[in-house]
Amino acid sequence: MSIATLLPSNHIFLDMESTNKEAYIQSVLEREQHSTTGIGNNIAIPHGKSEAVIEPSIVFARLKQPIDWQSLDEEPVSVVILLAIPESQKGDTHLRILSEIAMKLMDDEITAQLKTETNKEQIAKLLSE
């Protein structure tokens, strides 16, 4: 299972209107109560594991206006990479996907491109190759 498979272009939203993070599902909100998923550099990786999720998937959203996410660096978030994981796959699948994305985000060039790229297929490619 690759990130390219989990992140089709219809899961990528550019200039998304949002005023807060409360629009996310209950499992993600519960996870957020334990510690922030705002990793810094204007990026958050909220994730939740739920029986309501049938197949693992990723949703990418770049917000039109950054929002407060209680991030580790105390900066607002403009890029959100949401992971949806079935409860039955909460171990290895969840950690593998999170690890792959975190490795990509260590590259400053990729991070900068995620903040400005307008081609959805290119965004998916940046996170999957």
Catalytic site includes residue 47: yes
21-42 pLDDT, tens digit each: 463 356 677 777 788 889 999 9
71-120 pLDDT, tens digit each: 999 999 999 999 888 888 877 887 889 899 999 999 999 999 999 999 99
Residues 122, 128: Cα–Cα separation, whole Å: 10
Residue-range domain boundaries for the chain = 3-128
Give residues with Cβ within 8 angstroms of 6, minimum separation 6. Answer: 56, 57, 58, 97
Residues 84, 47: Cα–Cα separation, whole Å: 6
- Write down the residue that tokens 């209680």 correspond to: 70
Maximum CA pair distance of the chain?
A: 36
Label the pairing between strands 12-16 and 47-50.
unpaired
Label the pairing between strands 77-86 and 57-67.
antiparallel
- pLDDT score at 114: 97
- pLDDT score at 5: 86
- What is 3-128's CATH topology? Mannitol-specific EII; Chain A (3.40.930)
Q: Given 11, 34, 47, 94, which residue is catalytic?
A: 47
The DSSP string of the chain is --HHHH--GGGEEEEE--S-GGGS-HHHHHHHHHS--EEETTEE--EEEETT--S-EEEEEEEEEEE----TTS--EEEEEEEEEEGGGTTHHHHHHHHHHHHHHT-HHHHHHHHH---HHHHHHHHH-
